[in-house]
Amino acid sequence: MFSSLLSSMPYPKRKIFTSYHHKLDQVYYDWLSNHLSDRLELFADRAPGEAVRSDDHEYVAHRIREEHIVGSSLTIVLCGTETHKRKYVDWEIHSTLLHKKALLGIILPTCSQTSNGNLIVPDRFYQNTQSGYAHYIMWNHQQWSSNPSVFISHIEASIQKSNNRSLIKSSDPKMGINRA
């Protein structure tokens, strides 16, 4: 019965690159991968600098683009407590925008907030939510477990938003180092 449900999915199985702080947010990536792998092809690069093994930042950024972003439908950014401080997350968002791919942020329960209650997310991602290019949602694994179509609909909404490429904002220089 479950396989017949999958065959009648209204959306194609999307190839999705996932950007996140590996040390702190791996559990969220693992949940998505374990619970939604029948509907999505999720992948992430474990610590890009280590995988590429280079101190040349432009070379690492090029490898991220060519090996991970180019073949994907969109990039999911898992926004946790320190995601906004990670240079590779910024580079992956930059590459996503450079290749005009869709961008979906998932606000994790651990996401930092300002004293006013505003969420702290990567700057480049924030700029693109404000322009209307990027889409974001709150982490809700209970809902996604019982109804994966809700999650898939957010992916499709992100892809729809990305059709208006004039909204892309990515002129700021890439982060040179991780923020403290």
The string of pLDDT tens digits covering residues 130-177 is 999 999 999 999 999 999 999 999 999 999 999 999 999 999 999 989
pTM, rounded to two decimals: 0.86
Say what the pLDDT of residue 9 is. 52
CATH level 2 (architecture), domain 2-167: 3-Layer(aba) Sandwich (3.40)
Paired tokens of 127: 């700029």
DSSP secondary structure of 83-127: GGG-HHHHHHHHHHHHTT-EEEEEE-TT--B-TTS-B---HHHHH
Say what the pLDDT of residue 79 is. 98
Say what the pLDDT of residue 40 is. 84
CA 74, 98, 122: angle at the middle one, nearest 5?
A: 70
Helix (H, G, I), strand (E, B) or coil at 78: strand
Contact 66, 91 (CB under 8 A): no
- CA 152 – CA 137 distance, rounded (Å): 12
Say what the pLDDT of residue 127 is. 98
Q: DSSP letter for 30, please.
A: H
Say what the pLDDT of residue 54 is. 63
How many CB atoms are closer than 10 A to CB 60?
A: 19
Contact 86, 124 (CB under 8 A): no
Domain boundaries, the chain: 2-167
Contact 121, 104 (CB under 8 A): no
- CA 175 – CA 37 distance, rounded (Å): 31
- CA 132 – CA 137 distance, rounded (Å): 14
Say what the pLDDT of residue 148 is. 92
pLDDT digit of tens for each residue in the chain (180 aa)? 334 444 445 677 888 999 999 999 999 999 999 998 888 887 776 544 445 556 676 776 667 666 678 888 899 999 999 999 999 899 999 999 999 999 999 999 999 999 999 999 999 999 999 999 999 999 999 999 999 999 999 999 999 999 999 999 999 999 989 998
Residue type, 27: V
- CA 156 – CA 160 distance, rounded (Å): 6
